[in-house]
Structure 1
Amino acid sequence: MVSWWWEMSNNNNLALCIIITLTLLIILAILWFKFTLSTTSNGAPSLPPGPYSLPIVGYLPFLGPDLHKQFTNMARTYGPIFKFYIGSKLHVVVNTPDLAKIVVRDQDEIFANHNLTVAASIITYGGQDIAWAHNNAHWRNLRKMFVHEVLSNKNLDACSPFRRDEVRKTIKNVYCKIGTKVNISEISFSTEANVVTNMVWENSANHGAKDGHLGFELQMVVSKIVELLGKPNMSDYFPSLAWFDLQGVERDMKAQLKKIDQILERIIDDRSNLTLKG
């Protein structure tokens, strides 16, 4: 092939030679991609149907902003379970309530573990929290501790005055603003934040935030964290690009992690001071 290419270039057909060479490279890339998929699936159950994907980028160029509508249309073509690739990552879509119930409830032991995104890995210190940890002994211990210390009937009954007082404060606050605009989202989040921190640290929510805006601070940070968790990140689909952090998701999530750590450290320090004074 090299000798043929050299002969063609010597005959002043360089442009034609380049075109033919590029065509051959594209064909080889497609064959390599299909060969890779076939070898990775050997010995494994056959994958569900799905649309054809491009080399390297997969089905990414064809995805639109309204994924739920696009998935519904794709389900009409490929059935209630279908697959597509984004970069090197395989994605399987379950598109009916009954199948979703089987995945998240009946077969939860099988489907509980999942790969962390870059954003989730940062905010959870590598998947160490109860929401993102793998289904193993570590997660079971976290769940047992959470249920025993927070969700047990005894603790919920003991913390009922905190919930009642915060709800009464919120109602009184809204009542005093009759005739003016109120931000229901901000008020409800602030109430929830105060209830949770009161349940965990008793009165730390009132004393820990010296500026009186603990709920507002948490809301801003949590809103940004949720936004980053749901933001499509090229580093998740193309791991080789993760080092570059092209969209700045890793940088922004580290900044939010620092903020929420500062808020929690302030609450813990304030609670420690109250204990020492007591």
Structure 2
Amino acid sequence: MAVDPYLLRELLSAVILFFITRYFIASLVRRSTRTLPPGPKGWPVVGALPLLGSMPHVTLAKLAQKYGPVMHLKMGTCDMVVASTPDAARAFLKTLDLNFSNRPPNAGATHLAYNSQDMVFADYGPRWKLLRKLSNLHMLGGKALEDWTQVRAVELGHMVRAMCESSRKGEPVVVPEMLTYAMANMIGQVILSRRVFVTKGSESNEFKDMVVELMTSAGIFNIGDFIPSIAWMDLQGIEGEMKKLHKRWDALLTKMMQEHAETAPQRKGKPDFLDVIMANTDNSEAEKLSLTNVKALLLNLFTAGTDTSSSVIEWALAEMMKNPSILNKAHEEMDKVIGRDRRLEESDIPKLAYLQAICKETFRKHPSTPLNLPRVSTQACEINGYYIPKDTRLSVNIWAIGRDPQVWENPLDFTPERFLSGKNAKIDPRGNDFELIPFGAGRRICAGTRMGIVLVEYILGTLVHSFEWMIPNGTELNMDDTFGLALQKAVPLSAMVRPRLTPTAYLS
């Protein structure tokens, strides 16, 4: 029986049309179920960018109260999600950690971090793993930190004696300048086998200014990052300033490396961190480090290693000066455990529960990084029933989590006692308890988490144990902050100090 060609063509067309229609409808159904998380509509073209203002961490916290713990914002041409509660942070940084292990492209990574050749902004892959491994083994890990215990003690000795001299002269101590000077020298001893600054003065103050400028500029929401087609216009002038700052940093790092190379014979058999890193530029393994990688890593260590810990210590001292009863209680604990005949030692810290509680309370209320460094989704995913597209930027509002009244009782109060008993007693800031994640969590948790905690506890403990702290006459204690990658005090803390130990305790 012959088949009518016309009928056959019609049947085939109908079948094809059926499957096309079915696929199209199914696609529409899938799209309709792909609901983005709630969030503000924003403006045409620029999206929610104008809504953020000068204090994005505060604005995003307020928006989260309206739109929920997982919030979507259209930022220019980019999608961004913000996690604002411990559960939301856990979902992104633990459950979906691998999918959010990369950084989105941004001007800071390009112009400051040698085009993402560093550890902070590098893609999650072999080079990042090598940089992280070397840093942990030789500087940031537990064994490495033990190896340079004496370096920290010596540099703190220099600092407390300088503070005694300021006290004798009746001069106030500018806390962030003092801390940056001491911490840069600690890091310099480990990386370069020498103090970076022999005397405190214009050179160390310029270094502090460069660190603050880098942290501030890298934290700004740059329009060009979210609307790449107009990035060349540099509407905010940010990229131009970044390029100038990069030249200053590159000149400083180049000088450090040249001077270090000239003294290589003196370190024969006793390699420092830079010697170890440089050895990995010549190895025969598949993954090698370039000189640019080395410079970029040094930039990470000198900036994040000084500024983040310094800001936490400064905030802790300011809170104790504002609440003298807390300072007195810390003194009482230290006098009982240590006495006044010697300086605090790192081995004393496990016995100082109240000091550790003060540090945790500062991490909670004044996290050094208010918004975690942005991550970006490798693939589309779902969270809490919401659809998260591929290439969506993730921001975890660590500042908001620390001030969430659903998590913390009276969150605006500075109350170290909250960590001494009850449900918060075992909370730890190392990235496993999402109520307190000042260093982030997951694969991209801050590489210097362990070092940061050691520096904050030891330096803050030494400063509290060694001195009485007072607000200079005729001044007021300003507790305002200013936004950046690190949460700086808007007005640097200036204080009068008075030694409280026996004179011989300051000689070591």
Same structural fold, with TM-score higher than 0.5 when normalized by the shorter chain: yes
Q: For residues 1-278 of structure 1, what are the structure 2 equivalents within 5 Å?
A: 42=31, 45-178=34-167, 179-203=170-194, 205=196, 214-276=203-265
- In the alignment, is the contact (CA less than 8 A) between 1:49 and 1:83 conserved in 2? yes
For 1:185, the aligned partner's letter is P
- 1:190 counterpart letter in structure 2: Y
Q: Distance in 1 between matches of 2:164 and 2:95?
A: 46
For 1:172, give the aligned amino acid.
R
Change (3 A) 1:44 1:123: farther
- d(CA) in 2 for partners of 1:106 and 1:46? 20
The whole-number CA distance in structure 2 between the counterparts of 1:236 and 1:84 is 15
SS at match of 1:176: helix
1:113 and 1:134 in contact (8 A); partners too: yes
Which structure has more relative contact order (CA 8 Å, sep 6+)? It is 2
**Structure 1 length-normalised TM:** 0.75
Q: What is the root-mean-square deviation of aligned Cα atoms in Å?
A: 2.8
Partner of 2:348: none
* Structure 1 residues 242 and 97: alpha-carbon distance in aligned structure 2, compared to 1, 3 A threshold: same
- 2-structure distance, mates of 1:129, 1:173: 35
SS in 2 for 1:93: strand
Amino acid at match of 2:264: T
Instruction: Tell me the distance in 2 between the aligned counterparts of 1:168 and 1:62.
Output: 47
Aligned counterparts of 1:67 and 1:213: Cα–Cα separation in 2: 33
What is the one-letter code of the residue matched to 1:175? C
Structure 1 residues 69 and 119: alpha-carbon distance in aligned structure 2, compared to 1, 3 A threshold: closer
Q: How far 1:161 moved relative to its partner?
A: 2.2
Cα-to-partner distance string for 1:170-228 (whole Å, 9 max, x where unaligned): 01001110021111100001111000011111125257x9x975533321111111111
Q: Tell me the matched-pair count.
A: 238
- The 8 Å contact of residues 109 and 135 in structure 1, kept in 2 or not, is answered as no
- Tell me, in whole angstroms, the C-alpha distance in 2 between the residues paired with 1:160 and 1:248: 43
SS of alignment partner, residue 257 of structure 1? helix
Following superposition, the deviation at residue 44 of structure 1 comes to: 9.1
Q: Is the 8 A contact 1:113 1:135 kept in 2?
A: yes
**Contact 2:197–2:204 (Cα < 8 Å) also in 1:** no
Deviations 1:3-59 (A, max 9, x none): xxxxxxxxxxxxxxxxxxxxxxxxxxxxxxxxxxx99x9599431122334331223
Give the 3 Å change call, closer, same or farther, for CA 61–227 of structure 1 in structure 2. Answer: closer
Asked whether the 8 Å contact 2:42–2:51 carries over to 1, the reply is no
Distance 2:193 2:32 in 1: 56
Q: Which moved more, 1:160-169 or 1:149-158?
A: 149-158
| C-alpha separation in 1, matches of 2:244 and 2:197 | 25
Cα deviation, residue 78, structure 1: 2.5
Q: Distance in 2 between matches of 1:44 and 1:265?
A: 54
Q: From the superposition, tell whether residues 109 and 180 of structure 1 become closer, same or farther in structure 2 (CA, over 3 Å).
A: same
* Structure 1, 91-100 or 48-57: larger mean CA deviation: 48-57
CA shift in 2, pair 1:214/1:195, >3 Å: farther
Runs of at least 5 residues in structure 2 that lack an aligned partner in the other structure: 1-26, 268-508
Aligned-partner residue type, residue 144 of structure 1:
K
Instruction: Please give the alpha-carbon distance, in whole angstroms, between the structure 2 residues aligned to 1:45 and 1:134.
Output: 28
Q: Is the contact made by 1:162 and 1:198 (CA closer than 8 Å) also made in structure 2? A: yes
Deviation at 1:63, TM superposition (A): 3.9
The aligned amino acid for 1:87 is G
The two structures have a TM-score, normalised by structure 2, of 0.43
Would the aligned equivalents of 2:52 and 2:60 in 1 still touch at CA under 8 Å?
no
- Decide whether aligned partners of structure 1 residues 59 and 158 sit closer, same or farther in structure 2, where only a CA change above 3 A counts: closer
Tell me how far 1:98 sits from its aligned partner: 2.4
Structure with more of its chain in helix, by fraction: 1
Is the 8 Å Cα contact of residues 94 and 100 (structure 1) preserved in structure 2? yes
5+ residue gaps, structure 1: 1-37
Could you tell me how far 1:243 is from its partner in structure 2? 1.1
Change in CA separation of 1:215 and 1:103 when aligned onto 2, cut-off 3 Å: farther
